[in-house]
Amino acid sequence: MSFPSSAGSHRVFALRSGHGAIALEADGLRHPRALRFLGQTVTPYADITHHVLSLRGLRLATRKSVYLFPRSAFVDPRAPDELVRLLMERIAAAPGGAAQLDRMWAVEKLAARRRRPRLGLAVAALCAAVMLAELAFGPLVTLAGFFSAPLVRGGEWWRLVTANFLHAGLGHLLLNAIGLVVIGGLVERALGAARTVPVLAAGALGGMGASVLAGYPHAVGASGVVFGLVGALLWLELRWPDRLPASWRIPRTILIGALVADTLLGLALPAIAGAAHLGGFVAGMAACAGVGGPRLERRSGPAWVWAVNGLAIFGLALAFGAAGAIVVGGAHGLAGRARVLSERADVSPLDLNNLAWMIATDPDASEEDCSVAVELAERAVELTGRQDPNVLDTLAEAEFAAGHPERALRTIDEAIALAPREPYLQEQRRRFAGERAPDDRPDEPEGWIVPEPSPDEPVREEPEDGLRV
């Protein structure tokens, strides 16, 4: 087997068109960066920390990054094998080369000894289980567990935990599940399971804690946890790159580029919870700095790490217990917490409306529960200036459920005056007037009912619900 080379110690391995070449020079390895347009760089031999040679190609870890060289990129697919052989010879012949090879061997043993990661998969599975619970129990699960800054300030602390496991659809869940499994796997391999739990907990609380500071009316999703793992991975990459096997690392250009892209996307799309991402990232990085260290070969941390693990598990069980009690309690469980909302100045009319509707339409709701629904709906109507037919319809439904059909008729007439051509509202009136059976509720319209404007008033669009992911 022959390779193009120049005289002396300079050896060149040709790459296919557009990729340049890899050269063994006197002082270091000249090679392409992670991306073509970034050109080439020279890595001193002393900075090489580990390598993984496989049928797919070569992963070369250095103090600055990890570089991926697939066999398909070489003119001769056997070239990576010869490159590694010559590279090890150069390192061995350099001053301090024997010690460097010993360190590389220690990293290799760490890669072989670490168990398969499971925590990220476990968290993703719990998120999937919560979505199945939503399908089984309906929107009551979301109402009991979603994040809302006013609700958290009102004492519903468990939402800082449970909101991390709720998602706005299957696509949102799959995206976060991939992050949990892939990024979580890399962090868990480096830290071990015991020291990864504090990172997961910090990402969850940091993300939702930042959402409280940002005042988000609604937020769901494990994005804060994922970004906590990203923060931990970046800390390991910047602080202990020489202790990490090449297969546990992501090229820095990709890692940092993804963070920049997410920041720009968060600025462009209001639905992305940028504060939660940032809070999770900072908290995860700080947690990793606290539990991580140069002795990555340890599978567990000091006693306080196990104490944090115990607190995290206890807090998770307590939070799910609090939210589960509301779900099991149905309308009564919601009503028991909901009255606090109507007394808060920072409450969202959408929160009030949704809670009132859930209570009023629950067939097991008591008269007292329905009275709470009326209070919530009246406050929502007040906050919307009696100009939203959707909220007026909720108030009418609550009044009807509470045994006041005459009040329900007056309220639904207000809604009809705002949207006179909406068939759903007309059928609601027939039901309240006794022309339909009390339990024969008409099918709800597919979208938000938009009031018909007066000739000199602009058309009002459907309001955003403020859900951030």
Task: Please state, rounded to an integer, the average pLDDT across all residues of the chain.
Answer: 86
Catalytic residue, from 223, 342, 348, 371: name it: 223
Asked if 431 and 438 touch (Cβ cutoff 8 Å), the reply is yes
Band of residue 6 on the pLDDT scale cut at 50, 70, 90: very low
Catalytic residue, from 277, 342, 371, 404: name it: 277
What is the architecture of the domain spanning 119-326?
Answer: Up-down Bundle (1.20)
Does 19 score more than 80 pLDDT?
no
- Percent over 70 (pLDDT), the chain: 90
Annotated catalytic residue 223:
yes
3-state DSSP call for residue 17? coil
Give the residue range(s) of CATH 1.25.40.10 domains in the chain.
348-468
> 236-255, pLDDT tens digit by residue?
999 999 989 999 999 888 88
Per-residue pLDDT, averaged over 455-465, amounts to 50
> Residue 329 and residue 367: Cα distance in Å, rounded?
15
> 72-126, pLDDT tens digit by residue?
989 998 999 999 999 999 999 999 999 999 999 999 988 887 678 899 999 999 9
CATH of domain 348-468: 1.25.40.10
3-state DSSP call for residue 13? strand
Write down the pTM of the prediction. 0.83
Residue 325 amino acid letter: A
> Residue 358 and residue 361: Cα distance in Å, rounded?
6
CA-CA-CA-CA torsion sign (419, 421, 426, 428): negative
| Res 129: pLDDT | 96
What is the distance, to the nearest Å, from the Cα of residue 191 to the centroid of all Cα atoms in its chain? 21
> Residue 65 and residue 45: Cα distance in Å, rounded?
14
> Residue 251 and residue 265: Cα distance in Å, rounded?
21
- Choose among 52, 120, 105, 107: nearest CA to 81: 52
The token pair that represents 291 in the structure block = 């539990």
> 26-37, pLDDT tens digit by residue?
889 999 886 655
Give the residue range(s) of CATH 2.30.29 domains in the chain.
11-113
- Angular region, 330: left φ>0, alpha ψ -120 to 50, beta rest: left
CATH of domain 11-113: 2.30.29
Residue 73 amino acid letter: A
> 307-327, pLDDT tens digit by residue?
889 999 999 999 999 888 888
Annotated catalytic residue 277:
yes
Any residues with CB less than 8 A from the CB of 219 and at least 6 apart, and which?
146, 147, 148, 163, 208, 211, 273, 276, 467, 468, 469
Give the residue range(s) of CATH 1.20.1540.10 domains in the chain.
119-326
| Res 7: pLDDT | 37
